[in-house]
């Protein structure tokens, strides 16, 4: 029995390969994985020994060879396949493990893996005879079955096959998305493919009978809730995440010290001031009732003085770029509040990002609403021209009403909402 082992994510690979070797499985490997196994004393054959052909073109061609793919794709149940292998002196490969990612522009093109995905797809296509592993979390499952039964069950191979096509689809989508951005191509495409990675499973969705999970877009998304570090409290719920995201998007409209309180996806109190404590007072005084059990996001450090005021109110979530040590210690005394630190809280969302809404049987897609207003387009149609102070409050109210659901009305005075 043979296993081809070549990975980018080398988490647990040495231990996995040692266990395979201990079970009498011959290991074939490539490049950095081969060197890592060799350093760890794991017996392995380099791919060029198998193919009789050296890696070439800076490693671009190493596994694209009949000795590899015939060994993977041969159906063991077909005598003619096995006879052909014997005639060609090719041995079967019964397991394959590969994971690779592209990174920066020049490297992305160079590191678009051809042999890896090809081997994965070959192995997955022949799943009844080949166990193909792309996720280190599956190592234990495969080893357990090998030890207990001497083989990997057909059901597990089918499960592993599914993961391969999800993995290669994800990989190709990442490449296509990266190249689209490199070309500054922001047209809505004829076919839309997107990929996300799971952050966590959730206890339930919008209602207790609904299943839910939280996913993040591949790649670093500064200033988004997916980038936040949770410092305290139980895990975020489906509604917590949805409501907090809306509050953060409103907060990003402001540069001065600002506090946004949200309830059920709608802002209920917003205040701006010269300092964050006064901004809190404005947001709280705007609606002392609705803020109860709400989400509060702030764009300045939470000080001890601010934490003392926040502690007087039941809040579900507090998000800030930073918490003073004493403030964090005080708020940690409140068992049910979730505290999130989001260092880049003021970074705006990519103006070319998509806003997606699922409908039955399809999707409606638009670019996000990244514009507030164009000052040059403002026309005064009343007899009296607004004063500078009134225009300041108008701009404040326009920012708020942009994030009010349905037919929005926002009343504001002195950089404080007085009615939404």
**Would you please indicate which residues are annotated as catalytic (active-site) residues?**
125, 264
Rounded to whole angstroms, how far apart are CA atoms 95 and 288? Answer: 62
Structure tokens at 125: 């296509």
Rounded to whole angstroms, how far apart are CA atoms 229 and 214? Answer: 15
At 215 the three-state DSSP class reads: strand
The total of other beta-carbon atoms located within 10 Å of residue 220's CB is: 10
The per-residue DSSP string of 268-315 comes to: EEEEE-SSHHHHHHHHHHH-TTTTTTEEEEESS-B-HHHHHHHTTS-E
Rg (CA), the chain: 28
Are the CB atoms for 306 and 280 separated by under 8 Å? yes
Are the CB atoms for 282 and 273 separated by under 8 Å? yes
Nearest to 314 by CA among 294, 287, 328, 299: 294
> Beta 354-359 vs 362-367: how paired, if at all?
antiparallel
Phi, psi of 317 (to 5 degrees): -140, 140
């Amino acid at each position: 029995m043979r296993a081809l082992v070549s990975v980018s994510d080398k988490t647990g690979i040495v231990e996995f390969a040692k266990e395979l070797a201990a079970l009498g499985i011959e290991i074939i490997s490539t490049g950095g994985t081969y060197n890592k196994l060799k350093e760890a004393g794991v017996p392995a054959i380099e791919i060029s020994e198998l193919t009789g052909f050296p890696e070439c073109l800076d490693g671009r061609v190493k596994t694209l060879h009949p000795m590899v793919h015939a060994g993977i794709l041969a159906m063991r149940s077909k005598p003619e396949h096995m006879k052909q292998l014997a005639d060609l002196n090719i041995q079967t490969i019964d397991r394959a493990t590969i994971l690779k990612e592209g990174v920066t522009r020049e490297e992305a093109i160079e590191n678009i893996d051809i042999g890896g995905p090809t081997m994965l797809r070959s192995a997955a296509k022949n799943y009844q005879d080949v166990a193909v592993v792309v996720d280190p979390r599956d190592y234990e499952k495969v080893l357990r079955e090998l030890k207990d039964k001497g083989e990997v069950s057909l059901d597990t191979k089918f499960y592993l096959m599914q993961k391969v096509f999800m993995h290669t689809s994800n990989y190709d989508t990442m490449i296509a998305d990266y190249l689209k951005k490199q070309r500054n191509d922001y047209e809505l495409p004829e076919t839309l493919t997107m990929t996300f990675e799971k952050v966590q499973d959730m206890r339930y969705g919008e209602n207790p009978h609904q299943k839910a999970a939280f996913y993040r877009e591949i790649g670093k998304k500064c200033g988004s809730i997916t980038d936040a570090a949770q410092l305290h409290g139980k895990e975020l719920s489906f509604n917590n995440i949805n409501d907090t995201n809306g509050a953060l998007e409103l907060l990003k409209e402001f540069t001065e010290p600002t506090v946004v309180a949200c309830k059920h996806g709608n802002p209920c109190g917003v205040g701006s001031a010269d300092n964050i404590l006064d901004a809190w007072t404005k947001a709280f005084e705007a609606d002392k009732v609705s803020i109860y059990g709400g989400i509060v996001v702030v764009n300045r450090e939470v000080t001890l003085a601010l934490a003392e005021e926040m502690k007087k109110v039941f809040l579900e979530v507090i998000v800030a770029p930073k918490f003073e040590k004493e403030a964090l210690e005080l708020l940690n005394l409140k068992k049910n509040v979730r505290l999130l630190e989001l260092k880049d809280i003021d970074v705006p969302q990519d103006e070319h990002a998509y806003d997606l809404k699922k409908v039955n049987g399809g999707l409606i897609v638009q670019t996000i609403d990244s514009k507030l207003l164009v000052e040059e387009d403002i026309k005064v149609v009343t007899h009296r021209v607004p004063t500078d102070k009134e225009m300041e409050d108008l701009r404040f109210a326009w920012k708020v009403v942009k994030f009010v659901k349905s037919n929005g009305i926002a009343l504001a005075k002195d950089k404080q909402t007085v009615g939404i």
